[in-house]
Structure 1
């Protein structure tokens, strides 16, 4: 790491504080002092990641975006079919691999106790952990489940190496017992910090391109990572970035994870401090050849816009990128893509638009991704493409301010 480690002094002084916590599908944070609020600094969409294993520890590596204090983690049993008890949880900063910076690994509590039982379909926040968490830091969250079974909730394609072990090793700074590597995140789906009420976050709702497939693993080169670096280098009010992409995900239909429509509340609107939803999804609906029309997909976009606006969030729409050369491409799918992109660009129903299609497409064939941006499969951008996407986002479009209309008839 690196860059984050030069700013670890605040976290090394963290102390655990008891605070009440509810266990519900969308737990709310406790009230913040005037002028401050909680903001999501990292997020990952919940999906099924195999079966839960008893007496198992997971050491999860995640990259923060916005800095703040009073760190809280959110544990998810959203896809579980029975209650799941976490009897130990810690958070600290990474030195390298599975090893932590000495003195930073601090125990988390839940309602003042060391354990929490999360019902099936629910999430639970930890109590706030005082001390400052820097931006662009490798945060290490370690959890242990003594008894577990049924479907495990997590995020399958993390593009980040995390670690696992048999037995409870969550409180250890060293890496000796963390011999198993995994490319998935288990149970953790969000990290929040407390910061100025003027600071907010953007949530990227998408599929495998947002999830980072074909970007370089363990280097945080997904396009939302590049966007977080841009935001961190400015004086603007949007600092937090949560990546809520799922590989293979669709707007309309469940399959590779719950559809964007069905996971919108949990994966996006439930996070604190969110100002803007960045919607970049639809290619999987189009290329699946299930009869989805442009009108169908546009109706799905409109529902997301309406629900986000009711929650007081702005919505930036991104055009669907070219994918000619991918095995499922044909002229009928291309026609739907063009119809959908025309709506995104010209309808005026989004608060702003980012034209990823124009950024990524070849100047010689607008139906193909530009070779210099192609990750190799004619669909997913490489690191250069990911950076070009992030650079195309107008940062002012993320600094949106809406009022919730949830109670308006």
Structure 2
């Protein structure tokens, strides 16, 4: 009798929890509306590059700062009545002391608090999520986030275009600085699904003009908003990233969960990654990490399975041409062609986007169209990124 009583109680409790589960989930209205993937210096270091004064993203800023305020202007891709910030010190070896953090939208400014306090300490190796901020935003609004760093701070290795203001109040010209802002989430009564654009510099948007619409993820977000489709898009690209090996940060397979599968509201993954896996081994310091088409295909299959296990759809993209880039080889081109043939024919993913077909020169298909590259035969131009965004069906993740 006692055993039956315990079983009956456990059964009733289980039914109660099952009934409560969806109700609790329905109250969780937060979705990711902006992302910037943290990175690290893991993996072999490439040869140092000379500073490029013509880089449209601005000059490199300092690695270590003190007594400054960094400001970062971003575009959110979902609407909501409140928002909250996600900062990250995921790969930092020391805690980071934060001073005042503020959010600006038009002529409105809001102070940001963390556990009720205006200042906070972000532990080493961890993110920090703010308290909710009463500030309504609309999809495609530009939000400025300013972060004061009163103490000596080593910035993250993944850089983005920011300005820096010192004690004299003078704000610098935009420069590339390590970014502490890893995401913005919005609270919405009708939250959209979130598409995570995952990949390397061609996803991050290298080559796009800094004051323009951005790379293909940002342009896809604008298309979806204009069409009234219930999707937000976040960009989880990291320049130099590879699917299978570290170097320019953790590998794609290593960072997949944190950057693509667990952001709030994530429902679909669009993966574009592989050109660095193919090209980098032509350089001596990466020769021991040569990959085959079979290696990349096995990696793609892992992404598909892990995305499906997390409840996300997986849409894969073909690898665009790269003849003329500084690590192109005929052997690498053969691997790219074999990988793309598999991507087009496989039925394991939920869809395929043919970026190769959208960007290649019809006369020389191992090259990008001249109008579609930004000067290095690897990274698209603004016109190239627009062609990529338009190659993605608006119902690709439905």
- Place the TM-score, normalised by the shorter chain, in its bin: 0.7 to 0.9
Instruction: Tell me the equivalent position of 1:7.
Output: none
Instruction: Tell me the equivalent position of 1:266.
Output: 258
Q: 1: distance between equivalents of 2:323 and 2:163?
A: 37
| Aligned residues of 2:321 and 2:360 also touching (Cα < 8 A) | yes
- Tell me: CA distance 1:111–1:32, structure 2 relative to 1, closer, same or farther (3 Å): farther
- Tell me: CA distance 1:269–1:155, structure 2 relative to 1, closer, same or farther (3 Å): same
Instruction: Tell me the equivalent position of 2:131.
Output: 127
TM-score (norm 1): 0.81
1:125-204 to 2 correspondences below 5 Å: 125-149=129-153, 151-153=154-156, 155-156=158-159, 158=160, 160=161, 162-167=162-167, 177-184=170-177, 186-197=179-190, 199-204=192-197
For structure 2, which runs of at least 5 residues remain unmatched after alignment? Answer: 1-22, 41-60, 282-286
- How far is the alpha carbon of 1:135 from its aligned partner? 1.7
TM-score (norm 2): 0.83
1:279-318 to 2 correspondences below 5 Å: 279-289=271-281, 290=287, 291-318=290-317
- How far is the alpha carbon of 1:264 from its aligned partner? 1.4
Between structure 1 and structure 2, the one with the greater Rg is: 2
| Aligned residues of 2:62 and 2:177 also touching (Cα < 8 A) | no
- Tell me: CA distance 1:236–1:120, structure 2 relative to 1, closer, same or farther (3 Å): same
Q: 2: distance between equivalents of 1:55 and 1:381?
A: 37
- Tell me: CA distance 1:179–1:328, structure 2 relative to 1, closer, same or farther (3 Å): closer
Instruction: Tell me the equivalent position of 1:43.
Output: 35
Instruction: Tell me the equivalent position of 2:218.
Output: 225
More moved, 105-114 vs 46-55: 46-55
| Aligned residues of 2:314 and 2:349 also touching (Cα < 8 A) | yes
- How far is the alpha carbon of 1:372 from its aligned partner? 2.2
Q: 2: distance between equivalents of 1:135 and 1:312?
A: 24
| Aligned residues of 1:79 and 1:152 also touching (Cα < 8 A) | no
1:228-267 to 2 correspondences below 5 Å: 228-238=221-231, 240-267=232-259
- How far is the alpha carbon of 1:36 from its aligned partner? 5.7
Instruction: Tell me the equivalent position of 2:100.
Output: 88
| Aligned residues of 1:204 and 1:278 also touching (Cα < 8 A) | yes
- How far is the alpha carbon of 1:198 from its aligned partner? 5.0
The structure that is helix-richer by fraction is 2
The structure that is strand-richer by fraction is 1
Per-residue CA distance 1:36-64 (angstroms, 9 max, x = gap): 61111111111258644232211111111
1:89-104 to 2 correspondences below 5 Å: 89-93=101-105, 101-102=106-107, 104=108
- How far is the alpha carbon of 1:222 from its aligned partner? 1.0
Instruction: Tell me the equivalent position of 2:202.
Output: 209
Instruction: Tell me the equivalent position of 1:404.
Output: none
| Aligned residues of 1:321 and 1:360 also touching (Cα < 8 A) | yes
What is the count of residue pairs matched by the alignment? 349
Instruction: Tell me the equivalent position of 2:6.
Output: none
Per-residue CA distance 1:153-180 (angstroms, 9 max, x = gap): 2632x3x4x211224x9xxxxxx53235
Instruction: Tell me the equivalent position of 2:360.
Output: 361
1:44-83 to 2 correspondences below 5 Å: 44-48=36-40, 51-83=63-95
Instruction: Tell me the equivalent position of 2:374.
Output: 375
- How far is the alpha carbon of 1:216 from its aligned partner? 1.1
- Tell me: CA distance 1:193–1:32, structure 2 relative to 1, closer, same or farther (3 Å): farther
| Aligned residues of 2:110 and 2:135 also touching (Cα < 8 A) | no
Partner of 1:286: helix, strand, or coil?
Answer: helix
- Tell me: CA distance 1:260–1:249, structure 2 relative to 1, closer, same or farther (3 Å): same
Partner of 1:205: helix, strand, or coil?
Answer: strand
Instruction: Tell me the equivalent position of 1:118.
Output: 122
Partner of 1:92: helix, strand, or coil?
Answer: strand
- How far is the alpha carbon of 1:105 from its aligned partner? 1.2
- Tell me: CA distance 1:343–1:195, structure 2 relative to 1, closer, same or farther (3 Å): same
| Aligned residues of 2:63 and 2:178 also touching (Cα < 8 A) | no
Instruction: Tell me the equivalent position of 1:351.
Output: 350
For structure 1, which runs of at least 5 residues remain unmatched after alignment? Answer: 1-30, 94-100, 170-175, 400-409
- Tell me: CA distance 1:154–1:132, structure 2 relative to 1, closer, same or farther (3 Å): farther
